[in-house]
Amino acid sequence: MKAEILRLLKTERGYVSGQQICERFHVSRTAVWKAVEQLKKEGYGIEAVRNKGYCLIESPDILSETEIESMLKTVWAGKKVIYYEQTDSTNIQAKLAGENGGAHGTLFVADRQVAGKGRRGRSWESPKGVCIYMTLLLRPDLPPEKAPMLTLVMALGVAEGIREQTGLDARIKWPNDIVLDGKKICGILTEMSTEIDYINYVVTGVGINANQDGFPEEIKETATSLMLAGGRAVRRSELIAAVMRRYEEAYAAFMETGDLSRLQERYNELLVNRGRDVRVLEPQGEYSAHAKGINSQGELVVSTPEGEEKHIFAGEVSVRGIYGYI
């Protein structure tokens, strides 16, 4: 009930009477008072005035189940939130839940990770209080070979959510990074458990550089944050909600066709690789090519200097710009 009361206080301007809250949620005045007191202890500034009711006067950048749930306007994505002040990795926790009956759409969020994981098993320790670390647990009715496209669906949701919430020109670096001004602000990692012909579960993890004010010397030329790019801090719970709403919409379009045909144009409009010369790195060697965009299967379509068109699968190669990170 805390999340519902908090959502009401955020949406209503001015005071909301205790009686109005009681009638809205079918609870007693005592239950309302207790919920408000809990919210105050969590850091929310709520003013209570006799004969007027409650008014939210301050809402700091708090990450909690209550705060995130109060911001969400989705049907299923993130409707159940599990929050950790610190955990090994939200992907690890989501996979454990996946093995133990966790519900489709459960969102795992952490303020800090100590065993974050990227592509090819790279690990890192993540700072507290400035980033978004979240993983969505999915149980899609899809053949396993289609699951990798869910990474691109999330990339679209993240890029559109950032653009909506901050006004910044977030772009997608195929297949799983989000960039601003040529620097990385977000990475996405999808993992899954499958049988031969069906998926047990999929987890898609997202790490967004939100409010860092600087980076170590070794990565400052390739990494940035939303605060550094935009000049102001972002409210992480609001951004999580925007990403979940955009993702839920994109996911529905993807599931309707089983491919990216309905999302392909939107994705390509935000694809920073599109129309650029790239360097394709394969186990057999590397070559230069010109990126045209993705196809309906999420493959990057490139043309070689010899005029040959190739379709690159995300799991097989890495693509970097000839002149730098992009």
Residue-level pLDDT at 110: 96
Residue-level pLDDT at 120: 47
Contacts of residue 188, Cβ cutoff 8 Å, sequence gap at least 6: 151, 154, 155, 158, 176, 177, 178, 204, 205, 206, 207
Class at the top of the CATH hierarchy for domain 2-58: mainly alpha
Report the DSSP beta bridge partners of residue 190: 204
The one-letter code for the residue type at 203 is: V
Q: pTM for this one?
A: 0.87
Q: In Å, how far are 45, 77, 234, 321 from 60, measured between CA atoms?
A: 8, 24, 11, 39
The DSSP 8-state label assigned to residue 75 in this structure reads: S
Domain boundaries, the chain: 2-58, 65-270, 277-321
Residue-level pLDDT at 124: 47
Separation CA 247–CA 241 (nearest Å): 10
Residue-level pLDDT at 269: 98
Burial 64-80 (b: 16+ CB within 10 A, else e): bebbbbbbbebeebbbb
Span 65-270: which CATH code?
Answer: 3.30.930.10
Strand segments (E) across 139-220: 171-173, 177-180, 183-194, 199-209
Query: What distance lies between CA 183 and its chain's CA centroid?
Result: 18
Along the chain (326 residues), what's the average pLDDT of each consecutive run of 10 residues?
A: 90 89 92 92 90 88 88 95 95 97 97 69 64 97 96 98 97 95 94 94 97 90 94 95 98 98 98 93 88 97 95 79 71
Sign of CA dihedral 75, 80, 84, 89: negative
- Give domain 277-321's CATH architecture: Roll (2.30)
Residue-level pLDDT at 13: 78
Give ∠ CA 315-209-94 in degrees, rounded to 5. Answer: 55
Q: How confident is the model over 269-295, as pLDDT tens digits?
A: 999 999 999 999 888 888 999 999 999
